[in-house]
Structure 1
Amino acid sequence: MYKAQRFLVLDGADDVLRTYPIGLGFAPEGHKQFEGDGRTPEGSYVIDRRNPDSLFHLSIGISYPNAADIAYAQAQGKSPGGDIFIHGGPRKGIDPMNVRDWTAGCIAVTDRQIEEIYAMVRDGTPIDIYA
């Protein structure tokens, strides 16, 4: 995923499978460091869970925070936060692609796109998030 360009790329074994435009946290610049900072993490993580009953239209969990994220936040006397997901729009409310960077640190796509991603991506899949 490329934060500055606002797109998510799903790579297959031999080629790019799909590319999706994305929305990010309400403070999109920089790596997520603390709970409530509104940033989307940067770095290497894995898809570690999925939630078909999410408050959003499907959601796929990202393994943030990792050990380094936790250590940094604790050294500052803060919580690193968590519950970072790729998800569709809220059950009620805004279209995630009509309002840019509205999440609390998650990665937003349209409802139709999260349905495709949810079907293609398995738990344990690596995800690299670049600035």
Structure 2
Amino acid sequence: MRLFLLRGALLILAVAGVFVLWDRYGPTAPAPNMVPAVEQVDNILIEKSARRLSATVDGDVVFQVEIALGFEPGGDKQMEGVGKTPEGHFTISRRNPQSAFHLSLGLDYPRPEDIARAQAEGVDPGGDIFIHGQPNGLSMLTLPGDWTAGCIAVSNAEMETLWRLVPIGTPVEIKP
């Protein structure tokens, strides 16, 4: 009898797990905390340790999502190829609808101080830091964990929402 109950409980947990994963990673996963009346955000905050992106209007969070970072996210980006996501104050400087990832919003990294520091250290500061969706060809799923080369990744549905809400010039703060 105990074995029967244990198997039943495990089956219920497995089915519940599938529904939770489908809700998070499925093709129709909702874009959380979206305020439909918002046409444009005025700031983006990325909290690396919380793996969270928050978009605000007049200080109020109107859109918040989980993110993936560079494959070695701890600390500030000092040079190319280390898998770190830079920290500091940036601006959305470009939009790329033809990205290798489902849409992308480019940050103005490296900044002049990043270039000067890297030159003094004799290294390349890297570049092409974007907020982007999933790799093209993976439209039905969201890769788990930190997997980018230093960018900030979200699901494709979430990226489409950001694409609509984020104009060039939007300030972006990336905190540890």
Pair 98,55 (structure 1): closer, same or farther in 2 beyond 3 Å: closer
For 1:60, the aligned partner's letter is L
Q: Is 2:9 the partner of 1:9?
A: no
For 1:28, the aligned partner's letter is P
Structure showing greater relative contact order (alpha-carbon pairs closer than 8 Å, 6 or more residues apart): 1
Deviation at 1:97, TM superposition (A): 4.0
Counterpart CA distance in 2 for 1:128 and 1:96 is 27
The answer to whether the Cα contact below 8 Å between 1:96 and 1:102 also exists between their aligned partners in 2 is no
| Structure 2 residue aligned with 1:36 | 81
Pair 14,45 (structure 1): closer, same or farther in 2 beyond 3 Å: closer
Structure 1: give runs of 5+ residues left out of the alignment. none
Aligned length: 131
| Structure 2 residue aligned with 1:130 | 175
Counterpart CA distance in 1 for 2:141 and 2:128 is 18
Question: Match for 1:67 among 98, 112, 116?
Answer: 112
Deviation at 1:53, TM superposition (A): 0.5
Give per-residue Cα distances to partners, 1:8-46, cap 9 Å, x unaligned: 000112511110100000001000110111100000000
| Structure 1 residue aligned with 2:96 | 51
For 2:53, the aligned partner's letter is L
| Structure 1 residue aligned with 2:23 | none
Higher percent of residues as helix: 2
Deviation at 1:54, TM superposition (A): 0.4
TM, length-normalised to structure 2? 0.71
Q: Secondary structure at the match of 2:47?
A: coil
Pair 31,95 (structure 1): closer, same or farther in 2 beyond 3 Å: farther
CA RMSD of superposed structures (Å)? 1.4
Q: Secondary structure at the match of 1:114?
A: helix
Question: Match for 1:27 among 61, 72, 75?
Answer: 72
TM, length-normalised to structure 1? 0.95
Q: Secondary structure at the match of 1:26?
A: coil
